[in-house]
Amino acid sequence: MVKNFKCVVSYKAANYHGWQKQINTATVQGMIEYALKKFFGGDIKITGASRTDAGVHAFGQVFSFMVETRLEGNGIKSVLNGILPDDIRIFSCDEAPPDFSARRDVKTKLYRYLIYNRPFLRPVYSGLAWHVREKLDVGAMKRLLPLFKGRKDYFTFSAASDKEDHFREVKSISIRKKGPWITLDFKGRGFLYNMIRRITGAMVEHAKGALSYTDIEELFGVHDRSKLACTAPPQGLYLVKIIYEKKIK
């Protein structure tokens, strides 16, 4: 019996070169497909909801795969977690409709960026946030939010290697501060390569006084990536949750 499964996985990215499988390089997708092969005895390709970059962590990445089995999802989850390393953990595995795709059926993605804003970083947070030493004006960052609302051309906020259509709709961005932590939450159906990190970089530059409101507003009117020099580092970015058009358990 061929079944389609939807799985939610969390991972710490330090030991992997991103999500997408690559030859002779450790990736999260590659580790999961290795575990599936070891258990089922054949090659099984998984489809991820989002191709997180090297250094980007996940609380709730989603992937789907099809396999011929009589097992239920909980049994598969337990076996895979017994094979996978401790920095990759599957939190749920449920049977999905045959036509479900973790990537195609996405309604909204929630990403979170963490900034630690103090002169010194506590060592336990190393590799888990962007350490910004200079005091940031969070109020100034919040005043930028209307610029990023709606569907716009994010060419200047994308990576040089990104060749696709550069129009994306950002559903919302929220910013909150608690102690040394500044948290930015981004919601949208999809984001360009480096888009969230470059938006965050622009906001931080503005909060330092290095870029004005007008400077950032004008980034939407030009196709020149050199106008924005700051890209936030990957270790502060987390894929938090994937929301689908149809609820599946």
165 is an active site residue: no
- Residue owning tokens 């036509």: 99
> What six digits make up the tokens of 63?
């992937």
Q: Reduce the secondary structure of 146-214 to three states and give it as a string.
A: HHHCEEEECHHHCCCCCCCCCEEEEEEEEEEEECCEEEEEEEECCCCCCHHHHHHHHHHHHHHCCCCHH
How many alpha carbons lie under 13 Å from residue 203 in its C-beta half-sphere? 29
Catalytic residue among 43, 53, 137, 162: 53
11 and 58 in contact (C-beta within 8 Å)?
A: yes
- Active-site residue numbers? 53
